[in-house]
Structure 1
Amino acid sequence: MIVRIVRMTFRPEKTEEFLEIFRDSKARIRAFAGCQHVELLQDLHQPNVYSTYSLWDSEEHLNAYRDSELFGQVWPATKTLFAAKPQAWSHVQVAI
């Protein structure tokens, strides 16, 4: 299982536009092969900072999404709204 976290800082006046993009695409992302979960988190103290938290069956599934037509629609539209460069991390769950 791959945990993917992407932190995005938006221009404050563009956050509502981003939320619309996310609302319109979240079901299709969740339905993508290998995606087990996707949710949106908002920073507690910076209301224009959001993170996506998603769970993928494998890195191959995540990469297939990143190479997909859906990502090719969602990501370019989202990038135009940024106030800062996004940060992304991929993790594996550790069973201890």
Structure 2
Amino acid sequence: MVVEHAQLTVEAGREEEFQEVFAVAREVIAQADGFRWARLLRCVERPRTFLLLVGWESVEAHTVGFRESERFGRWRALVGPYFAAPPAVEHYDEPEPLPR
């Protein structure tokens, strides 16, 4: 499993509306093949900034399976109008344990 780490900056004054729309958009992404879970966090110091964490079966489940599907278009149509800047997206996996 990999975790998508997406930093989202929302237009000023639209933060609460974005959170409401995200609840709908989450249902769209949850239908994608390879989706495991999603969590949205709001930054305390910078309240226009959100951290989206999404568990995927693999990087390809996100970058190919979801991003190249019609679901991505629906997802983006819901959340995209709130973005003040393009999302910064990276993928993380759990490193192999170090030998003792």
TM-score with structure 1 length normalisation? 0.85
SS at match of 2:14: helix
Q: Is the 8 A contact 2:18 2:82 kept in 1?
A: yes
Give 1:39-54 correspondences, 5 Å limit. 39-54=39-54
CA RMSD of aligned residues (A): 1.6
Q: What amino acid is the match of 2:14?
A: K
1:18 aligns with 2:5: no
Deviations 1:27-82 (A, max 9, x none): 33223211111110111211111111011111221121111212101214422222
Q: Which structure: larger Rg?
A: 2
Q: How many pairs does the alignment contain?
A: 96
Runs of 4+ that moved beyond 6 A = none
Structure 1 distance, partners of 2:69, 2:23, is 19
What's the TM-score once normalised by structure 2's chain length? 0.82
Alpha-carbon deviation of 1:86? 1.9
Q: Secondary structure at the match of 1:8?
A: strand
